[in-house]
Amino acid sequence: MGPRSGHIGIGDLPDELLLEIMRISPQREHAIFLRLSKKFYALGVTSLYRAIHITTSGTVPKITSTICEDSEKSRELALNVRCFEMVLNTSLPASHSPKAIASSLVKILASITNLNRLQLYAEGDSMSIFHNISYDAHSFPELKTLDIVFHPLDRYASTFFPFLKRHPLLETLIVQIHNNEHRRVSPHTFSGSIPLPKLRTCYGPLKVLKHLLPVAAPLLSTISLDLTELAGCLPGMVERDLEPLLKLSELRERRQSSLPETLNFRLVLSAFDIVITDAAFRFLPSDVARLSIHCKYVNDLDRKLRDLLDKENLKRFKSLKRFSLTRWSEEVQPSESEKESFDSLAKRLRQMCPSIEIVDLGPYTY
């Protein structure tokens, strides 16, 4: 049987419906859809570039040639970009020059000024791309989410911190740092505070968040503080470096009437360190509702937690609803004796903090 007369194809659908189909399609399918006809291309090319996701360094020059050309169409595409994510989890090919890739990336960032989400992350030698970037000239007036890898070099930090300061609309800030960079001395090229009045969520190392916490916004409700850089430090040095937490506590006490209902705090450690954890407990705001400790290595978890509880600093947290102590990997199951010890510690935690409703110890939830 032949096709019916008056048969309606996908090209006959209203433009609004076609745009909705493209909007909900994965980026790869969206691109394929544009190749079906000139009509589809003209209709959907702008929305295709609304979000750009890069996973290989070789894509950067191609994007540059599309949205950074000196033409009206390229400028339109660039100004339509709202989300730019560059995540490089593989090594940089030998044929790719970090400086050349960085140069192309700088051109892209200079063109896509209407961003509200920016993610820049790399591992291994791909990180060298970001070593060749200066943030002096970049500004995104509508930026609300920034997820970026931080490198504590003076020449990098000297432009990164002022870059943060130019984006007062930030609501979510995620700053990652590679493990082998934690022990670098914090850069001296920036001092002072960075007020971000809209900030609700921040994740990052102490060497970055120490500039934010003393002037934290009233809206701030979730904080993940990476304290890996303090591993092995003497108690006096730990307390000195954790002073921003004390200032945050004082600030929150003065703003009680304007604070969010809950404050979630997460401490990230390379190993469970009594000195660091005890100091943090003494300096943290007392209105924390959820407190998590996340460690890469924990030997004798039950004994160390018992030593921590002996100091009784958890009694400060009158609003604490959930306490968690977990390892980065819980593949090794605790022994039966450890399980019994965890049971006992969970009961002790509840006695110390009657407000606690949930306790997470290793792989167990009480």
Q: Do 41 and 154 fall into the same domain?
A: no
Inside any domain, residue 38:
yes
Q: For position 2, what pLDDT does the model report?
A: 46
Inside any domain, residue 232:
yes
Q: Do 171 and 296 fall into the same domain?
A: yes
- Note the pLDDT tens digit of each residue in 128-187: 888 778 888 889 999 999 999 877 666 677 788 889 999 999 999 999 886 555 555 555
Give 272's contacts (C-beta < 8 A, 6+ positions apart): 293, 295, 297, 298, 299, 301, 304, 305, 325
Inside any domain, residue 105:
no
Q: Do 166 and 36 fall into the same domain?
A: no
Residue 326 has pLDDT above 80, yes or no: yes
Residue with tokens 């609501």: 171
Inside any domain, residue 134:
no
Q: Taking the CB of residue 213, how many other CB atoms lie within 10 A of it?
A: 24
Q: Do 31 and 164 fall into the same domain?
A: no
Q: For position 5, what pLDDT does the model report?
A: 53
CA distance 211 to 222: 16
Q: Do 42 and 149 fall into the same domain?
A: no
Per the CB < 8 A criterion, the answer to whether 282 and 311 are in contact is: no
Structurally, how many domains does the chain consist of? Answer: 2
Closest CA to 303 of 357, 350, 361, 356: 361
Domain hosting 31: range is 14-48
Inside any domain, residue 60:
no
Q: Taking the CB of residue 308, how many other CB atoms lie within 10 A of it?
A: 19
pTM: 0.84
Q: For position 358, what pLDDT does the model report?
A: 95
Inside any domain, residue 65:
no
Average pLDDT over residues 217-229: 88
Q: Do 44 and 168 fall into the same domain?
A: no
Inside any domain, residue 133:
no
Q: Do 39 and 152 fall into the same domain?
A: no
CA distance 202 to 220: 8
Q: Do 169 and 42 fall into the same domain?
A: no
Q: For position 312, what pLDDT does the model report?
A: 80
The total number of residues shown for the chain amounts to 366
Average pLDDT, the chain: 82
Inside any domain, residue 34:
yes
Q: Do 189 and 293 fall into the same domain?
A: yes
299: domain CATH number? 3.80.10
What torsion do the CA atoms of 161, 166, 168, 171 make, to the nearest 10 degrees?
A: -60
Per the CB < 8 A criterion, the answer to whether 218 and 199 are in contact is: no
- Note the pLDDT tens digit of each residue in 68-83: 888 888 888 888 889 9
Q: What sign does the CA torsion over 293, 299, 300, 303 have?
A: negative
CA distance 57 to 82: 20
Per the CB < 8 A criterion, the answer to whether 192 and 172 are in contact is: no
Please give the order of strands across the beta sheet that includes 364-365. 51-54, 83-88, 117-122, 145-149, 172-176, 201-205, 222-226, 264-271, 290-297, 322-327, 358-361, 364-365
Residue 20 has pLDDT above 80, yes or no: no
- Note the pLDDT tens digit of each residue in 96-136: 888 899 999 999 999 999 999 999 998 888 888 887 788 88
